[in-house]
A and B are shown apart, each in its own frame.
Chain A
Amino acid sequence: GAVVSQHPSWVICKSGTSVKIECRSLDFQATTMFWYRQFPKQSLMLMATSNEGSKATYEQGVEKDKFLINHASLTLSTLTVTSAHPEDSSFYICSARDVAGSYEQYFGPGTRLTVT
């Protein structure tokens, strides 16, 4: 159990376009999901915390108007990178926390975004 999926697994887009990444908890409900970004040879940096039915909480330095997060249901959160630029190219990983109450988090396999 406790599987988190991400779609797409990789995407290439042109500069100036928007890209949507989905994060789904497949066999559990998640009131809270987290979005991370990882640049090559670096660690994961938390971008934002996504709560079902409310606005996301962004970490300092992360532009909320550029990285739109929607958590419309207990099993789905989306991250939209708007007006993407080459510097947004990165590995984006989501995690979901089981609504059952523990602090255990389950990570998705990641989405590799390349902006040309």
Chain B
Amino acid sequence: SQQGEEDPQALSIQEGENATMNCSYKTSINNLQWYRQNSGRGLVHLILIRSNEREKHSGRLRVTLDTSKKSSSLLITASRAADTASYFCATVNTNAGKSTFGDGTTLTVKP
């Protein structure tokens, strides 16, 4: 069963605004990854954060991880219309080593 849950399910913002998506999970993890998927396309890996890391940056992306709360957030700053996509978090389970995906957040950035 899927253990990752993202919220919100859908987010609509204006270009230039920041977008924040959250992900919660249930079991112990090795790392957590965020992916982007444009409609009908494959996954694009955005960022990986390990269980011993609290925050990570990559360009306009900022990811935080709180293992005590079993949650992560993805912040996209100064959003662009091209950021319109679905965003998924995926957790790698400590024991099983397999990734489990959340339900995803659909982000729409209006120009």
Contacts and interface: CB of A to CB of B under 8 A. Distances in A.
Given A103-B30, A104-B48, A46 B43 contact: no
A102 to B, nearest CB: 8
A91 B39 CA distance: 12
Interface residues of A, number: 22
Nearest to B5: A43
B97 interface: yes
A49 B93 CA distance: 13
A43 to B, nearest CB: 5
Contact of B92 (A105, A106, A109): A105
Interface string A86-116: 0000010101010000011111111010000
B42 interface: yes
Given A103-B30, A103-B92, A105-B92, A46 B98 contact: yes
B54 interface: no
Interface string A72-97: 00000000000000000001010101
A25 interface: no
Q: What is the size category of the interface that chain B forms with chain A?
A: 20 to 34
A108 B42 contact: yes
Interface string B41-61: 111010010000000000000
B74 to A, nearest CB: 15
Given A106-B45, A109-B42, A110-B42, 12 more contacts: A42-B103, A43-B104, A44-B90, A44-B101, A45-B2, A95-B99, A103-B30, A103-B31, A104-B31, A104-B92, A105-B33, A105-B92
23 contacts: A34-B99, A36-B101, A42-B103, A43-B2, A43-B102, A43-B103, A43-B104, A44-B90, A44-B101, A45-B101, A46-B98, A46-B100, A46-B101, A49-B98, A93-B43, A95-B99, A103-B97, A104-B31, A105-B92, A105-B99, A106-B45, A107-B42, A110-B42
Interface of A: 32, 34, 36, 42-46, 49, 91, 93, 95, 97, 103-110, 112
Sorted from nearest, which 4 A-B pairs have the closest CB atoms? A109-B42, A110-B42, A103-B30, A44-B101
